[in-house]
Amino acid sequence: MRIRTNDVVEVITGDEKGSRGKVLRVDLSGGKVVVEGVNKVWKHVHRSQKNPQGGRLSKEMPIAVSNVLLVCTACNRPARIGVRILADGSKARICKKCKAEI
């Protein structure tokens, strides 16, 4: 999994192909991500102490990580990600198109 919270990703397949958003949550075990503004559903909530009004709540549902690509901050395109090992042994993610570190 090369996508982290707060990355900007683009949906590359499905109904919302082409939409971009920030990653709100990453579910490592399920291979899913929650992307801001993508795959929103209306959740109907009953009255409770937390929601005294009840009603409808808009909520993003997780989508498969294979349906999104990280958007490169340097070339502003959805990009496949490579990994470069730095001199100190740590890893950096790089855009396969422009080779910039992300």
Shortest distance in whole angstroms from residue 24 CB to Zn ion: 23
CA distances, 24 to each of 60, 63, 68, 89, 99 (Å): 9, 12, 13, 29, 26
- 70-89: which residues touch Zn ion (CB under 5 A)? 72, 74-75
Q: Which of 63, 77, 68 is nearest to 11 (CA)?
A: 68
Instruction: Give the residue with the Cβ less far from Zn ion, 9 or 72.
Output: 72
Task: Tell me the two tokens of residue 40.
Answer: 């929103």
61 forms part of the interface with Zn ion (CB under 5 A): no
**CA neighbours closer than 13 Å in the CB half-sphere of residue 15:** 4
Instruction: Give the residue with the Cβ less far from Zn ion, 34 or 102.
Output: 102
| Residue in 25, 47, 98, 101 binding Zn ion, rule: CB under 5 A | 98
The piece of 1-9, 35-43, 56-64, 65-73 that touches Zn ion (CB under 5 A) is 65-73
